[in-house]
Chains A and B, each alone.
Chain A
Amino acid sequence: MENHDILCVKGITKSFPGVLALEDVDFSLKKGEIHALLGENGAGKSTLIKVITGVETPDSGTIEFDGRRIEVKSPQHAQQIGISTVYQEVNLCTNISVAENIMLGHEPKKWYGAINWKKMNQLADEALRRLGIEIDVSRPLGNYSVAIQQMAAIARSLEFLSAKVLILDEPTSSLDERETNQLFEVMHRLKSQGIGIIFITHFLDQVYQVADRVSVLRNGRMVGTYDLATLPRVQLVARMLGRSLNDLDEMSREKLKREQAEEETCVLEARGIGRAGAIEGVDMELHKGEVVGIAGLLGSGRTELARLLFGIDSPDTGALTINGKKIEHFNPLQSINLGVGLCPEDRKEEGIVGDLTIRENIVLALQARYGWWKFLEPEKQYEIAQKYIDLLGIVTPSPDQLVKNLSGGNQQKVILARWLATNSQVLILDEPTRGIDVGAKAEIQRMVLDLAEEGKSIVFISSELEEVLRCSHRVMVLRDRKKVAEYPGDVDDQTIMHTMAGIV
């Protein structure tokens, strides 16, 4: 196999108002290589990808593709050259068939111009088979899992765009383990065909599992490119964080400290709370200053439980008591008034209001609590916003920055600030660290423990078991939309994993 660079990026600099997103970044991708791109949120990964795919024009720097210098004008142009991107959220149409999605714009025609469906399905089927996928391509894409949808997107870019460089932007964040492995198989297959793959992810395990080399970005600069075979994991994390690992160690020590923090004031009590099709009757208690972790696989009813506790959905059965008050009418405002806050799983769709400023996002729930007429004057709003920007360390040039321009970790902090501003005593955090880099993750976990110490009660939901165990005083395990077990916080991860998987 030839071993020359298919893509070579040199000296890229890109700035946005108030932010230097990339500074003199070099990056190269070999033919037939899986190259992981790592970095904290806001490190510049997405900007680098946007520059490579022509979404953004760099201020300076050059891009060489297959030995020739190119200027990528637009994403379409990038595709024509042979640089394809598959995004985390697949941008295909879920309501038309898999075959149509793959062949869109290249449908085989009969002699009189009508689409030759048989041929089309056959071609699509072959394209997927080459990736090792066998499915009925005539069914709507939406019938299949996100993994399959991603495969269809990959098949499309390989078949018609003859991609030589494939960029996978956090492809595994919504896949389960089996699907992830399926994707990795496909990646290996493509690699052996000489395609260069840029693989962006937050999961270090996966980097070591599948990638050849790794490049680490930090604060808009390229820290370096390393061979994974010779780079110990600890080193990699240290490079990403740009600091020693003492911070992380310290946190596990904190875990020992928290045992005495438990008090017996029950702030939230659910008795057999359930909703048809969502979750079966759950009993739970949450005490003052306590973190209750909820572990469970995707689809185990984690989010559904959170929605019931916050009053977005009303339960069919059971009762919920918050701060001694039995809830009759379930709606978010009621919960907020009782001192409950929810950081939803889907930060972008359910958490932030993207086109509003940080200030407005922070005061939103407080303002809702105050009602229509008791308006917080702008000065007061700035004061509150600034307080939490400082307290939570939100990185921004000003409180007037639009929230959609922040990195995921900072957005999460803004939502957290929203609830702290309303003085919520119960925080329900649904995947608070999803899509957030290692550094911000540690920061948010620390915040959770600090808040609990201050007497807040927290429901901590996460698909990362390690994180649940690190932060929780007690752990509830959900499986198949049922609560199956409850453990003290010092339970070992093996036990929990067995419970989650149903092998007790």
Chain B
Amino acid sequence: MNNKKPVLKQIRESRLFWPLVALALILLFDAIFAPSFFKIGILDGHLYGNLIDVLNDGAPLMLVAIGMTLVIATGGVDLSVGAVIAISAAMGAVLINPALGKELITNEVLTANKTNTPLGIIVLANLAAGTLCGLWNGMLVSRARIQPMVATLILMVAGRGIAQLITNGQIMTIYYTPYFWFGNGFILGLPVSVYIVALVFLIAWLLVRKTSIGLFIEAVGINPKSTYYSGISEKNVKLIAYTFCGFCGAIAGLILSSYLHSADANNIGLWYELDAILAVVIGGTLMAGGRFSLLASVIGAIVIWTFTLTMYTVGVPANALLAAKAVLVLVVIFLYSDQVRRLVTKISERKGAQHGPTH
């Protein structure tokens, strides 16, 4: 091919460039102010350390960001993922509850390390609940033609109520140890959640790059009218994106409830939708829809968690974290503003090359 573009420019135009710059900046900060951040040790044959925590703690967000990417690429947004996490977590926790279906409930029964439901059924119910939520959102957006923000707001508000109905208003604590594997287990030294993310990522990647769904999603996000006139069912494209986003939320709920050993309808997955949107934005997908990169969004999620854990490491108190996060958002927005980018382009071009200008 006639790729005459200078290497530097190719790198800068890559979708992964800016998210990686953001990540590098944070890690640079760690290298200077908190070198302990990079320490990785081995305990009981498992790797541990802050970097591993980033992957393990960040896994639910990465999952949600994958789903959110597809939704945002269609030109929509899903505000309900936090609530979907709560619903699917509640679903799992209720089915695990050994008191389920028992007449006589004693504390002994309740806190026993056992369940009457097979683990497979629990996981399936968990996934089904979230996927169903996604389907609902998709129906509202594509069939009832409600604006995505409004349509998903409904479930965002109602979802935690539904989760409470499922758990009967209780904060469900889980005592069944096999269930903890998803959020706390290790395979070959790495957290199980990392493998789950990899699997979901692979599914999503195959879906968008090995079927025509990816092309259709981008086309719908860019110009729904032209896309419809080309014979593509814009409705079904959206339905799939939202349903898949619900599915991702469900898995995030599974991991989170497993990690926390509980399902608190009011707090589990709180504000995840906003973090997920931020991750997607860091990943460079436009809120208006169109071109997207799943990997960039995952890196976006990693950026958020690296930042969060960095703040903990340098001793920023938890209640000041949100303010610190605001700084991150601000920096990201600056990095992505056209004005700033043009400036960077100008500077690097003046320094570097005699090659043609960009626009």
A residues with a Cβ closer than 8 A to B are: 15-17, 56, 59, 310, 312, 332-333, 335-337, 342, 344, 349-356, 360, 363-365, 367-376, 397-398, 418
15 A–B contacts from the bound complex (CB under 8 Å):
A15-B356, A16-B356, A17-B359, A56-B359, A332-B229, A332-B231, A336-B231, A342-B229, A350-B225, A350-B229, A351-B226, A367-B216, A370-B212, A372-B211, A398-B1
Contacts of B226 in A (CB 8 A): 349-353
Within 8 A of A (CB), among B226-243: 226-233
Across the A-B interface, give the 9 residue pairs with the lowest CB-CB distance, nearest first.
Answer: A368-B231, A333-B231, A336-B231, A365-B230, A364-B230, A368-B232, A355-B222, A353-B223, A367-B212
Q: Are A371 and B212 in contact (CB under 8 A)?
A: yes
Contacts of A349 in B (CB 8 A): 223, 225-226
Q: Are A367 and B215 in contact (CB under 8 A)?
A: yes
Contact string against A for B residues 193-220, beta-carbon threshold 8 Å, 1 for contact and 0 otherwise? 0000000000000000011110110110
B290: nearest residue on chain A (CB-CB)? A355
Q: 16 other contacts beyond A333-B233, A368-B232, A375-B212, with CB at 8 A cut-off?
A: A56-B359, A312-B229, A332-B228, A335-B231, A336-B231, A337-B231, A351-B229, A353-B226, A353-B230, A354-B222, A355-B218, A355-B222, A355-B291, A356-B222, A367-B215, A397-B2
Q: Are B291 and A344 in contact (CB under 8 A)?
A: no
Q: Are A360 and B219 in contact (CB under 8 A)?
A: yes
Distance between Cα atoms of A354 and B225 in the complex (Å):
12
Distance between Cα atoms of A17 and B213 in the complex (Å):
30
Given contacts A16-B359, A360-B219, contact A353 B211 (CB under 8 A): no
* Residue B101 CB within 8 A of the other chain: no
Expressed in whole angstroms, the minimum distance between the Cβ of B229 and any Cβ of chain A is 5
A337: nearest residue on chain B (CB-CB)? B231
Contacts of B291 in A (CB 8 A): 355
Given contacts A353-B223, A355-B290, A360-B219, contact A332 B230 (CB under 8 A): yes
Q: Are A356 and B356 in contact (CB under 8 A)?
A: no
* Residue B357 CB within 8 A of the other chain: yes
* Residue B337 CB within 8 A of the other chain: no
Distance between Cα atoms of A335 and B230 in the complex (Å):
10
Distance between Cα atoms of A418 and B231 in the complex (Å):
11
Contact string against A for B residues 1-18, beta-carbon threshold 8 Å, 1 for contact and 0 otherwise? 110010000000000000
Contacts of B210 in A (CB 8 A): 375
Given contacts A349-B225, A375-B212, A398-B2, contact A369 B219 (CB under 8 A): no
* Residue B358 CB within 8 A of the other chain: yes
Contacts of B216 in A (CB 8 A): 367-368, 372
Q: Are A17 and B222 in contact (CB under 8 A)?
A: no
Distance between Cα atoms of A374 and B216 in the complex (Å):
13
Within 8 A of A (CB), among B327-359: 356-359
Interface size in chain B (residues, C-beta < 8 A): 28
Q: Are A360 and B212 in contact (CB under 8 A)?
A: no
Q: Are A372 and B213 in contact (CB under 8 A)?
A: yes
Distance between Cα atoms of A418 and B228 in the complex (Å):
14
Contacts of A356 in B (CB 8 A): 215, 218-219, 222
Expressed in whole angstroms, the minimum distance between the Cβ of A78 and any Cβ of chain B is 18
Most A CB within 10 A of own CB, among B218, B223, B358? B223
Contacts of A375 in B (CB 8 A): 210-212
Which of B212, B219, B356 touches A17 (beta carbons < 8 Å)? Answer: B356
Expressed in whole angstroms, the minimum distance between the Cβ of B293 and any Cβ of chain A is 14
Distance between Cα atoms of A332 and B210 in the complex (Å):
25
B218: nearest residue on chain A (CB-CB)? A356
Expressed in whole angstroms, the minimum distance between the Cβ of B213 and any Cβ of chain A is 6
Most A CB within 10 A of own CB, among B2, B212, B356? B212
Expressed in whole angstroms, the minimum distance between the Cβ of B143 and any Cβ of chain A is 15
Distance between Cα atoms of A350 and B233 in the complex (Å):
15
Most B CB within 10 A of own CB, among A355, A363, A370? A355
Contacts of B223 in A (CB 8 A): 349, 352-354
Most B CB within 10 A of own CB, among A352, A353, A355? A353
Contacts of A364 in B (CB 8 A): 215, 219, 227, 230, 232
Contacts of A17 in B (CB 8 A): 5, 356, 358-359
Contacts of A376 in B (CB 8 A): 212
Distance between Cα atoms of A152 and B357 in the complex (Å):
37
Distance between Cα atoms of A180 and B32 in the complex (Å):
68
Q: Are A353 and B359 in contact (CB under 8 A)?
A: no
Q: Are A360 and B359 in contact (CB under 8 A)?
A: no
Expressed in whole angstroms, the minimum distance between the Cβ of A95 and any Cβ of chain B is 19
Distance between Cα atoms of A351 and B357 in the complex (Å):
30
A397: nearest residue on chain B (CB-CB)? B2
Contacts of B218 in A (CB 8 A): 355-356, 360
Expressed in whole angstroms, the minimum distance between the Cβ of A311 and any Cβ of chain B is 10
Expressed in whole angstroms, the minimum distance between the Cβ of A388 and any Cβ of chain B is 15
Distance between Cα atoms of A352 and B223 in the complex (Å):
8
Contacts of A350 in B (CB 8 A): 225-226, 229
Expressed in whole angstroms, the minimum distance between the Cβ of A46 and any Cβ of chain B is 13
Expressed in whole angstroms, the minimum distance between the Cβ of A50 and any Cβ of chain B is 10
Contacts of A355 in B (CB 8 A): 218, 222, 290-291
A355: nearest residue on chain B (CB-CB)? B222
Q: Are A365 and B356 in contact (CB under 8 A)?
A: no
Distance between Cα atoms of A17 and B225 in the complex (Å):
29
Contacts of B2 in A (CB 8 A): 397-398
Contacts of A367 in B (CB 8 A): 212, 215-216
Expressed in whole angstroms, the minimum distance between the Cβ of A150 and any Cβ of chain B is 25
A342: nearest residue on chain B (CB-CB)? B229
Expressed in whole angstroms, the minimum distance between the Cβ of B206 and any Cβ of chain A is 10
Contacts of B222 in A (CB 8 A): 353-356
Distance between Cα atoms of A301 and B185 in the complex (Å):
67
Contacts of B215 in A (CB 8 A): 356, 360, 363-364, 367
Within 8 A of A (CB), among B1-57: 1-2, 5
